[in-house]
Amino acid sequence: MSWVHGIATGPFSQAFDLGVTFPPTMVYVWGVLAAVEPAFRTTMDAADPSIRVVMKTPASLADLGIAIVVWWGLRERPLLAATAASLVFLHPTVFGVSAFWGQYEPIYVLPAVIAAVLVARGHADLSAVAIGIAAMAKPQAVPLVVPFVAWWLATGGPRGLVRRLAIMAATVLVLWLPFLASGGPARYLETIAFYQNGNFAVLSMNAWNAWWLVQWFVGNGAFVSDLQPIIGPITPRLLGFGIAGLLSLGIAYVVYRRPTLRTLAIALAAMALVTFSFLTTMHERYAYASIVFLAFALVDLRMIVLWFALGIIVTVNTFMAIPVPEWQFLAILGSVAMVALTIATLAILYAEVSRQAEGEPAVR
């Protein structure tokens, strides 16, 4: 709320002097809100019902956009398209993240979903633009670039990969242009470093994942720093990056071997789940993207069971994102379930390679 007020009353180019913790895509969204709602110039009262509605509107509109794009990507199969779009739009996690908590995960997931459909339909250059916009909405979108890199290499070779990386880099540069003169990128990195090495430097910010289990048993329910060395200079944060990095290579390999919309969708969900389950400092809502991407692959019983099981755990974690001691047992079960579902998603993804080995067409 204070950021939108600052954007409304000060120079747009100096938005990152306000301590904004989001990259520029979100600043543009808030700039639109500041322009269309005059109240942001005179109030910083986040309790004002009308202001709260306005603040939540972009994410809710993005939810609708995501459902439309899911339908668009599957429209050759009308029943699947209508079912998947409806399940996503009506999913309680989707409602919980945007309409209930007022968070902005849908803002980066929407362009990422658009990028997936575009690249699967042969528009690789446009997909690079879309995923660049997604990566500049929230840091959680950056790992989603990995499956796209694998796709660009598989379908366009080294020259195609370099071309799309250049387009994505140009997109990022254009988004940052209004803020360069005021040192926006440097200010943003300073703010992120401050938070990541301060109050948010914990194993898990209420995300039910592998580090939540460690935090419960080591810290007796209290937050535990992820910067404390465990073996020599290795901290939990570094260990998490190492695990996620290795698993992301496997995800990229599968997409490289089998570039299809189904494989890409499962890979993007797996990437979201790997970062959620094995990186430190995760919030409960960061698994949101997996619910959306898996909707593209609801074509067999395995995927349907996985999607519904994942949806239950993510929804409960989303609505119970408060560290209450009485919920310890439920949190432990939820964390074990999330790690197990992450492994199950990876297993299903790796099985996609054998589908190609059996002679099925790769690109479709």
d(CA 316, CA 285): 11
- The whole-number pLDDT of residue 355 equals 67
Could you tell me the pLDDT band of residue 304, with boundaries at 50, 70 and 90? Answer: very high
For the chain, give the mean pLDDT.
91
Q: Which residues pair with 202 in a beta bridge?
A: 225
- pLDDT, tens digit, for every residue of 75-131? 999 999 999 999 999 999 998 899 888 889 999 999 999 999 999 999 999 999 999
- Could you read off the pLDDT of 324-338 as tens digits, one per residue? 666 678 889 999 999
Inside any domain, residue 60: yes
| DSSP letter for each residue of 281-347 | SEEGGGGHHHHHHHGGG--SHHHHHHHHHHHHHHHHHHHT-S--GGGHHHHHHHHHHHHHHHHHHHH
In a domain, 190, yes or no: no
Same domain, 216 and 158: no
Structural domain contains residue 338: yes
Q: How does residue 321 score in pLDDT terms, banded at 50, 70 and 90? A: low
Structure tokens at 324: 């209450």
If one counts the domains in the chain, the total is 2
Report the predicted TM-score, pTM, of the whole model to 2 decimal places.
0.93
221 and 291 housed in the same domain: yes
How many whole angstroms separate alpha carbon 80 and alpha carbon 78? 6
> Does one domain contain both 175 and 267?
no
CA angle at 100 for the pair 142 and 54, rounded to the nearest 5°: 85
Is residue 189 in some structural domain? no
Q: Are residues 101 and 177 in the same domain?
A: yes
Q: In this model, does residue 266 exceed pLDDT 70? A: yes
| Per-residue model confidence (pLDDT) at position 256 | 97
pLDDT band at 312 (very low <50, low <70, confident <90, very high): very high
Instruction: State percent of the chain over pLDDT 70.
Output: 93
pLDDT digits (tens, 9 = 90+) for 154-176: 999 999 999 999 999 999 999 99
Query: In terms of domains, do 235 and 306 share one?
Result: yes
* Among 184, 212, 229, residue at a domain's last position: 184
Does residue 35 have a pLDDT over 70? Answer: yes
Answer yes or no: is 191 within a domain: no
**Is residue 45 located within the same domain as residue 73?**
yes
In terms of domains, do 141 and 273 share one? no
In a domain, 24, yes or no: yes
User: Does residue 194 or residue 320 have the better pLDDT?
Assistant: 194
271 found inside a domain: yes
Residues 180 and 297 in one domain: no
- R_g over Cα of the chain: 20
Contact 29, 37 (CB under 8 A): no
Q: Judge if 136 and 229 occupy the same domain.
A: no
pLDDT at res. 325 = 61
Give the pLDDT score at 361.
40
Residue 192 lies in a domain: no
Inter-residue contact 295 to 88 (CB < 8 Å) = yes
**Same structural domain, 177 and 280:** no
Q: Which of 129, 163, 184 is the last residue of a domain?
A: 184
Last residue of a domain, one of 129, 162, 184: 184
The pLDDT value recorded for residue 40 is: 77
The pLDDT tens digits of the residues spanning 37-89 come to 777 777 665 556 677 788 889 999 999 999 999 999 999 999 999 999 999 99
Q: Please indicate, yes or no, whether residues 33 and 170 belong to a single structural domain of this protein.
A: yes
Residues 9 and 153 in one domain: yes
CB contact set of 191 (below 8 Å; sequence gap of 6+): 16, 19, 20, 21
Q: Could you list the residue range(s) of the whole structural domain that residue 232 is in?
A: 197-364
